[in-house]
């Protein structure tokens, strides 16, 4: 049985340890799965509220309307070509800047892979696609933040060439 996601264009389809995996632009129908991925750890569980999808829907509309922001999902593809459930996501934003001689930068955030699928190369595929897309759009650098307690994420990003070059700060408003 196929679902509507089967007809959406792929940004990338690649073989990973667990089979064929593809990336595509998220649709509003993907929001429950995206929010669940974001909430599926101790930090996210305290931040995300799945009982009211209104704020997520408004955020999705703003992201979807702005070509400087991409919300991407990943899903397995069966041997018959049918798309499986959304099992990964990330947001990629493109930011102009005055510093670095007017360089553009990209920011990747909300990178999540379903816990049961980690270690199969899915995260690496997603981040490498984001790096390639950032280069394609003329970005001079890519940045991200990851919580100080996420040591496994620090190792993961380090293996992909990211350096902990700055100390990030946030102010809750």
The answer, as to whether pTM is greater than 0.95, is no
Task: Supply the pLDDT for residue 2.
Answer: 42
The one-character DSSP state at 70 is: E
Examine the pLDDT at 26 and tell me if it is beyond 60. yes
Q: Domains of the chain: which residue ranges?
A: 4-159
pLDDT-derived band at 94, boundaries 50, 70, 90: very high
Greater model confidence, 16 or 34: 34
Distance CA 83, CA 76 (A): 6
44: helix, strand or coil: helix
Distance CA 41, CA 30 (A): 19
CATH code of the region 4-159: 3.40.630.30
């Amino acid at each position: 049985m196929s679902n509507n996601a089967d007809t959406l264009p792929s940004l990338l389809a690649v073989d990973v340890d667990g089979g064929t995996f593809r990336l595509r632009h998220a649709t509003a129908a993907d929001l429950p799965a995206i929010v669940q991925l974001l909430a599926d750890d101790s930090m996210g569980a305290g931040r995300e509220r799945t009982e009211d999808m209104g704020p997520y829907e408004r955020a999705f509309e703003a992201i979807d309307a702005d070509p400087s922001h991409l919300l991407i999902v990943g899903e397995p593809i069966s041997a018959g070509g049918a798309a499986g459930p959304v099992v990964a996501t990330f947001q990629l934003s493109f930011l102009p800047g005055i510093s670095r001689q007017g360089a553009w930068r990209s920011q990747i955030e909300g990178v999540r892979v379903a816990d049961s699928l980690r270690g199969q190369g899915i995260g690496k595929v997603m981040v490498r696609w984001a790096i390639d897309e950032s280069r394609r759009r003329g970005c001079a650098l890519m940045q991200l933040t990851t919580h100080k307690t996420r040591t496994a994420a620090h190792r993961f990003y380090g293996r992909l060439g990211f350096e902990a070059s700055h100390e990030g700060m946030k102010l809750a408003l």
